[in-house]
Structure 1
């Protein structure tokens, strides 16, 4: 699923949409290795406010940047061996949570495979959307399973308004609040208005700390490095090979080539991946000598294993170049970074100079002008 696919799909997720029907909701509270309760309920048994909250959770699991917060995983399948997790999800999708034995297997798989610091609630929703096929002039009913993992936090402090006594007083009761989903997934994916049962979309609120247990143990997929890890590995390898040649202009040039690649691939169904050959080609276009290109290939093979064979291009570049110097920092569009900045000696000090097209600037959102007598 690309950005367009996700955006179009989320438009279906609306309780007032006649093409969207929730069949059943499966919930469970899990703390470490214990399942405290499991419940399957029909959609009509929930109040309207509860339904609205559940719909918002579904949308949350489908919100975020593709390749960072949202990552599409392919189920690894061989002719000799089926993917057990994919089979289970397919059966859950078809049964619409009406099979109690399947529900128990699903929840126990989560209990055994997911490790967290505290208690959490599994909220799994089985819903159907009607997809109109204009070529066949009819609608197809497609079922989906969206599962959210919501941490449970104890709320025991703070003041409340007591409407019975009409006073503001210390809160004395203990509430166990379900926080926003920290992780989740949707099966199957939805590409070009068609279901794709060979892929699953994984959501992680913290792109830098995905729950590997969900990806590998529950979904049965091969974990892909987080966006932060990819960026660290990528630039670490580049710095290792280029050494002192990795100056300001080179960094901006590489980032620009990567950003151009991302923009050129925005219409693709999946996030654009880059492997060793792609990176070597980018470095070659940045005039990196051939001997260093060969060195990069050796380091790539050493650092990257079969588990991590490629990077997602959008994860290793930035739209803005963040420049830090001393206790200060400057963020600038990468297209302007190579030409807009200059290093000059001002009053005997080396300074980073940023030319202004006019004296009008904005400070803390307030339009103002630069004092021409201000020393740099």
Structure 2
């Protein structure tokens, strides 16, 4: 799914837009014991409560593609006769009314989740009459071209609030407020099937994780029987390790800077051009940058081979998971230097009198602890 398709589904989660008739829920404690279950129609809720429920479900479709939102791909054999895929299809085709399928899903989720404390599993079913979109991109709301039905699962921690002092307007007094259990934002969840090319793709699901460092491997394996995607934080760490290990002594400041500049430029160009499809890079993208830095073939080939071992032979990565578009960081055991990637050219390395230095070009506007200072020294003053 791309950002436009996700945004189109996200707009469904408003009372006047949604066709979600009811919410299935399973409340679980820290011992993996089911405290209660519910099947609650939205029509029986107050407008305020319905909006809050839809707002929580909507957060399962939030975050950055490739980091918080990831495509889960099913193999053809799974779609034909895989029990996990069949279970998801049954939940969808029955509009969450197949009690055996719902209970089986709850059991599978509970046994695989590793969330500390109490949590709530919510299931919703929606039917979307997809508006027709003309060749020039105009949407005709009254002309539906297809019907897209899907289920959405949100797993939300239930947290105990702290005691507090609250002001009660009716009494014009402060009173103690007792701790209470409240529903937090989703920790993980998914939408099935995916909404690709504005229609259902039963070969794919859109998976959500709140933390870029935690994918919840057990849940992904149990519900989808698929290899969990590598967390975004792990992708960055692994890519850095592959680059450093394969280039060895050729892994200079200038080489890493060139890779960072190229990826940041690709991200910016993709943003400016407003391209719908998510930006992905391959090992060959990085290989070309390394070759442009003058690295010998044995180094670039070693990078390609170790990339395959770390990520997979045909794996493409989101550059946003590899570089930070907001800052360029140089770290030593004692000093950390950060700058905007566009200003990384102001930093250089040099050997002076046999000692290695990181130099920052500085002229006017230099502050130390908030105090403007004048820089002295240099050849002209010696």
TM bin, normalised by shorter chain, reads 0.7 to 0.9
Paired residues of 1:5 and 1:191 also in contact (CA < 8 A): yes
The structure 1 residue matched to 2:186, chosen from 181, 185, 188, is 181
Decide whether the 8 Å contact of 1:341 with 1:355 is kept in 2. no
- Say what the alpha-carbon RMSD is for the aligned residues: 3.3
Does 2:308 align with 1:295?
no
Q: Structure 2: how far apart are the matches of 1:191 and 1:300? A: 29
Q: Please state whether the residue corresponding to 1:110 is helix, strand or coil.
A: helix
1:280 aligns with 2:293: no
Other structure's SS at 1:214 match: helix
- Name the TM-score, length of structure 1 as normaliser: 0.83
Shift in CA distance, 274/12, structure 1 to aligned 2, threshold 3 Å: same
Q: Which moved more, 1:213-222 or 1:135-144?
A: 135-144
- From 230, 240, 258, the equivalent of 1:235 is 240
Instruction: Tell me the CA shift for residue 97 of structure 1.
Output: 1.6
1:296 is displaced (CA, Å) by 2.6
Cα shift readout 1:271-309 (whole Å, capped 9, x = no counterpart)? 52524x554344223322111123334434554568x95
Comparing 233-242 with 284-293, greater Cα deviation is found at 284-293
Return the alpha-carbon distance in structure 2 between the equivalents of residues 57 and 198 of structure 1: 26
Distance 1:345 1:241 in 2: 24
Distance 2:194 2:367 in 1: 44
Could you tell me how far 1:65 is from its partner in structure 2? 0.8
**Aligned partners of 1:77 and 1:244: how far apart in 2?**
45
Distance of 1:237 and 1:351 partners within structure 2: 24
Determine the C-alpha separation between the residues in 1 that align with 2:310 and 2:357.
38
Equivalent positions of 1:208-223 (< 5 A) are 208-223=213-228
- Does 1:30 pair with 2:25? no
Aligned partners of 1:67 and 1:271 also within 8 Å: no
Question: 2:90 and 2:368 mapped to 1: Cα distance?
Answer: 57
Aligned to 2:137: none
Say which SS state the counterpart of residue 294 (structure 1) adopts.
helix
CA distance in 2, matches of 1:85, 1:198: 12
d(CA) in 2 for partners of 1:301, 1:142 = 37
Q: Hey, what's the Cα distance between the residues in 1 that align with 2:307 and 2:350?
A: 37
How far off its partner does 1:120 sit?
A: 0.6
Indicate the residue corresponding to 1:126 in structure 2.
125
Aligned: 1:150 with 2:156:
yes
Change (3 A) 1:223 1:43: same
1:349–1:278 CA distance, 2 compared to 1 (3 A): closer
SS of 2:338's partner is: strand
- How many residue pairs end up in the alignment? 362
2:79, 2:203 within 8 Å by CA — same for their partners in 1? no
